[in-house]
Structure 1
Amino acid sequence: MEVNPGTFYSAGLGSCGVKNKDSDYIAAVSHLLYDAFPGYEGGNPNNNPICGRKVRATYKEKSVKVVITDRCEGCALTDLDFSPSAFSQLADFSAGRLSG
């Protein structure tokens, strides 16, 4: 699946039950993907098998490896919402939203 890297957000306690800091290399996936991820039967979101998965995102010849620890309500299916430190590995914050 092609992923459009997306945006960044302030980290905290995520849907996977993990408390993160802005300096952690983490990301949130779309609620559409999170809720329909194979093996997730609803209920406690901490038990979603997507939690803890590692993803490598690439944007304009730069890449970053992140751990999925959260769910993004405003994201499209293939978007990722990065912690500030992860986003900064791909682009300057002034870029705002990345695509492609």
Structure 2
Amino acid sequence: MRLDLVEAGLPEPHVNVAIRAADGRFLALGDLVYPEYRVVTEYDGDHHRTADDQYFHDIDRHDDVMEAGWRSIRVNKSHRGDRRRLIVQKVRRALVERGWTP
């Protein structure tokens, strides 16, 4: 996914970056992060769906990240192959909406 984003002309995302609330409290470890635009792309593996504890935690974490002003784009295995372009388009839109100039 990171390579798809860069190949499409988007900035190189930071990998595995801590996302924090305004008070410094840890909210999440973002998979692919654009801190200057407050955009994060998260890959949800199958365990995010099948393990109840993980699923419940993810819902709260996602809400916390969005409440802190981040745009969160979630990706799963359905976004492989031709559907990868959909994620690239979503990330591009989010970056532009938050001030990035192509």
The reply to whether TM is greater than 0.5 is no
Return the index of the structure with the highest Cα Rg.
2
Relative to the length of structure 2, the TM-score reads 0.29
Higher strand share: 1
Q: Which has the higher contact order (CA 8 A, sep 6+)?
A: 1
